[in-house]
Amino acid sequence: MSRVVSIVYMKTPPESFLLFKEELKKAQLEKERLILHYEQQLSEVNLELYRLKEQINSQQDMMRTTLEYASNLEIRLTEVKEEVAQTTSAYRKSIY
């Protein structure tokens, strides 16, 4: 008979175990929620970083193009000055 009593007694776990089990389940759900939230935030940050990299690349390309254009203008201006100087000196030589 004592064996039957101990088996019946063991089938119902103590209340503290049930509370612990419930708290553990809540903690696991909270952990999963936090992991999902963290992954979402990480994904958003990565997307923003990608956009910023694209903007930086575009700005660098624009700066490179601007510098090339300015350099070409400077070269062309130098050529025009030389042409004007040659034309002026040739004109002066032909007058005298």
Which pLDDT tens digit goes with each residue over 71-93? 999 999 999 999 998 888 877 77
Q: Above 90 in pLDDT, residue 2?
A: no
Which pLDDT tens digit goes with each residue over 13-52? 788 888 999 999 999 999 999 999 999 999 999 999 999 9
Q: What angle do CA 48, 50, 52 make, to 5 degrees?
A: 70
Tokens 């999902």 sit at which residue?
36
Structure tokens belonging to residue 32:
């999963």
Number of domains in the chain: 1
pLDDT at position 49: 98
The range of the structural domain enclosing residue 83 comes to: 2-95
HEC per residue, 20-87: HHHHHHHHHHHHHHHHHHHHHHHHHHHHHHHHHHHHHHHHHHHHHHHHHHHHHHHHHHHHHHHHHHHH
